[in-house]
Structure 1
Amino acid sequence: MASTVATDSSRASARPGYGQLLRTPGAWTFLLPGFAARQPFAMLTIGIVLLVQSTTGSYGSAGAVAAVTGVSMALFAPQSGKLADRYGQRTVLVPGVLLHAASVSVLVALALSGAPMWALFAAAVPTGASVPQVGPMVRARWAARLDGSPLMSTAAAFESVTDEFTFVVGPVLATALCTGVHPAAGLVAEAALTLVGGLLFAAQRRTQPAHGLLAASERVEHASALSVPGVRVLAVAFLGIGSVFGGMQVSLTAFTEEIGNPGANGLLYGMFAAGNMLAGVAVGAIAWKSGPRRRLLVGYTGLAMAASLLWTTHSMLLLGALGLVVGVFIAPALISGYTLVEDLVPASARTEAFTWLTGAVALGQASAVTVAGRLADSYGSTAGFLVPLGGTALALVTLTALRSRLAPRPAPRTVARGVGHRVPVTVD
């Protein structure tokens, strides 16, 4: 079957498989270290929540510190992506992972010493700002190697599956370390994985996309990926997805505390992430006849409907099942959104575009953690689940109203100057 798909890959209806994708020369050299370096996005928020809650006794305070980290990441991530497009990924990544490891260490030390909240907030800023944008960088490497190939849609699905696998492993690992070893163990592990994985990823220079090769006319036209209307619409949609991640993390933690079984938090969040991962595998394996814009709208509608039921559930079994369903609908929305970037944004600005979307998830997650934490403190865990409902509903309304802005960008008028349409990879 794989060979049949390979021979028919020129047809739009065919979808090359994961096996063909992973045989792309050089792929494994950046995939393996990239997986370890992606853990901050999965472990950082829950690690902060568990550490600060254990030292202050307040979910609201824990959520506020985590929110500062998320907002800082959302603000700085696009700038990191823009710098990577201009100067190269390695130039940005190496100092970034070093700063992140140091910042996490300071945050842990302050929390354990009972430092005031303003000190935790101050340490949270560089912690979030320095989170390495490895996921967008991996996507940019795929785009550079597969530009114009039908494998690009498969790569988008594969990356979503990889992201969600980190959300299966990361929260479970962080929760197990924080509850079974020490409240700070989750963050310590997160910093170590980031440092080692990030440096190994940065060392893979042969697969790094070229930088600084675009014609001046295209650099002016696409000075920022956010200038593309479709990217702004996708950012709003990804804010809603972030509200699901943040609301689920805090509310599930509060729920398991209420029922006297805090160790079940990792299991429940793992079921949510597993639904996302399994759906991602399926989405990548299907040869879709509908376009990514329609798949995004359908997937997001299902996500909003499933998220609207979370606050009604009081049983651990039902909550786990519903979390699984919510996760199933996140994958099509994420994959379709990332796939649309290839049609909306020129190759010269894709790393930045991917980081805007990642930053939007982080900002939505940060806002959700704050609001859900306050609601959980005041009204219990059930109230915290209202946050994913509100976030996805508002994003769905925006996405539906502005769906016309997700149409592919027009082809460039001059082919001869289209250096950015096929970005070569650098060679040592």
Structure 2
Amino acid sequence: MASTVTPTSSRPGYGQLLRTRGAWTFLLPGFAARQPFAMLTLSIVLLVRHTTGSYGAAGAVAAVTGVSMALFAPYGGRLADRHGQRAVLVPGVVLHTVAGLSLTALALAHAPLWALFAAAVPTGASVPQIGPMVRARWGVKLQGSPLMTTAAAFESVTDELTFVLGPLLATALCTAVDPAAGLVTEAGLTLLGGLLFAAQRSTQPAPVSDGHARVGHVSGLDGHARVEHASALRAPGVRVLVVAFLGIGMVFGGMQVSLAAFSEAAGEPGLNGVLYGIFAAGNMLSGLVCGAIAWRAAPQRRLVVGYATLALAASGLWTAHSVVVLAGLGLLVGMCVAPALITGYTLVEDLVPAAARTEAFTWLTGAVALGQAAAVTVSGQLEDRLWGGAGFLAPMAGTALALATLVALRSRLVPRPRGRTVARGIGHRVPVAVD
């Protein structure tokens, strides 16, 4: 890939990005608000594992949380596009706090598994989608600017910084303070950070009325076109990216469960946060480099090549039998995740107009959550039923299947020409009146 880059001086850098007027008013609250999400899955796994003694049960409860988030996040993104981020965020963080504390109380009371599942549904469904909301605010600030790719890289790095700090904090709280401390802290920080972010009203994208939707159809007998909202998922490229991000989510989920099991088997449960932090640090560092390079290769090609590297790296995780080897492989896998994430988020800018962008971003983050939920479940069962380290087979399988889909459907990632209208599902370059 060396031939595909130019000197970094040929493109705007992070310094120019961070000097964007008004950026810090949403960046700092956004960082505080997204930090708890990095603690959620691991906090649930460690608490439920403590109260039930089973990684399978812990993974299943965490998986219900992830599936609920994946199903409800895009709907929340669409509501944020229509009604504004604050209108969705404020009630959402309150509900999440109540649901998270309820799940904690039920786990400590040794409630039956079905009760934990019931509490996990609203806990996951109400996870605030801070990352997509921040990305949408960048889109408003930088519309048409070459800084958009830099912003995508910066957001990926920010996400990974939270995933360096989050597991470390969750592990420290659950092992040194109390098994419930991680989830209680996550709920409290979500409430505080979410409300602070929601208070930044000046930088949120303006709500989009039906008349400004990205696609629609002509209807009615009066000869007037009525444009209706359509889901960002109708864009073929977004559906391909969803599959790719599912595979990335399986990397996250498989790493969280399998690293926890590996650390416990080694007699050092506190090592889990360190190992996961190394994985996330690799992601963060490669994200910084990726955002600083002016790529000449088309993003579609970069995504396929980068994803192939990720699948190859993930296929070696299950072979690790020592802390040093696992740490090295985790670092390598982390370094391969960021380029795929950054390129995928960058492609959204071309595939989906601003009117549906928050929703599109939430489809991708929801896909990560769904993949994470699947991997948490599968990895937990594999760790319980097979050998130590078998849970790492989930990331290998997930990335391999996603890569096959990405290669087969890569042509759908090429943006379609803008400026088209849709009449009853048929594309026209010029609006057509209906008699």
1:164 aligns with 2:171: no
1:214 Cα deviation after fit: 6.0
C-alpha RMSD of the superposition: 1.5
Matches within 5 A, 1:356-371: 356-371=363-378
Find the aligned partners of 1:76 and 1:151 in 2 and give their Cα distance: 30
1:111 aligns with 2:107: yes
Gaps of 5+ in 2: 1-7, 218-228, 422-435
With structure 2 as the length reference, what TM-score do the two structures score? 0.91
Q: How many residues align?
A: 404
Partner of 2:222: none
Answer yes or no: is the 8 Å Cα contact 2:214–2:356 preserved in 1: no
1:361 corresponds to which letter in structure 2? V
2:87 corresponds to which letter in structure 1? T
1:155 to 151, 157, 176: 151
Find the aligned partners of 1:356 and 1:146 in 2 and give their Cα distance: 22
Partner of 2:14: 18
Percentage of matched positions with identical amino acids = 74
1:26 corresponds to which letter in structure 2? G
Partner of 2:408: 401
Answer yes or no: is the 8 Å Cα contact 1:254–1:380 preserved in 2: no
Q: 1:144 to 1:115 in 2, by over 3 A?
A: same
Matched residue of 1:260: which SS? coil
Q: 1:211 to 1:13 in 2, by over 3 A?
A: farther
Partner of 1:279: 286
Answer yes or no: is the 8 Å Cα contact 2:86–2:199 preserved in 1: yes
Matches within 5 A, 1:241-390: 241-390=248-397
Gaps of 5+ in 1: 1-11, 415-428
1:137 aligns with 2:137: no
1:409 Cα deviation after fit: 2.3
Partner of 2:192: 196
With structure 1 as the length reference, what TM-score do the two structures score? 0.92
Deviations 1:243-279 (A, max 9, x none): 0000000000000111111110000000000000000
Answer yes or no: is the 8 Å Cα contact 1:67–1:369 preserved in 2: yes
Partner of 2:79: 83
Deviations 1:316-374 (A, max 9, x none): 00100100000000000000000000000011000000000000000000000000000
1:42 Cα deviation after fit: 1.0
Deviations 1:280-312 (A, max 9, x none): 000011111112111111110110000000011
Please say which of residues 235-244 and 282-291 is displaced more in the overlay. 282-291
Partner of 1:4: none
Find the aligned partners of 2:216 and 2:203 in 1 and give their Cα distance: 26
Answer yes or no: is the 8 Å Cα contact 2:212–2:355 preserved in 1: no
2:232 corresponds to which letter in structure 1? A
Partner of 1:60: 56
2:366 corresponds to which letter in structure 1? G
1:17 corresponds to which letter in structure 2? G
Find the aligned partners of 2:212 and 2:280 in 1 and give their Cα distance: 43
Deviations 1:206-230 (A, max 9, x none): 0010112463563526610000000
Find the aligned partners of 2:301 and 2:36 in 1 and give their Cα distance: 31
1:124 Cα deviation after fit: 0.1
Find the aligned partners of 1:190 and 1:292 in 2 and give their Cα distance: 35
Find the aligned partners of 1:165 and 1:212 in 2 and give their Cα distance: 32
Partner of 2:169: 173
Q: 1:95 to 1:88 in 2, by over 3 A?
A: same
Partner of 2:178: 182
1:352 corresponds to which letter in structure 2? E
Find the aligned partners of 1:44 and 1:243 in 2 and give their Cα distance: 16
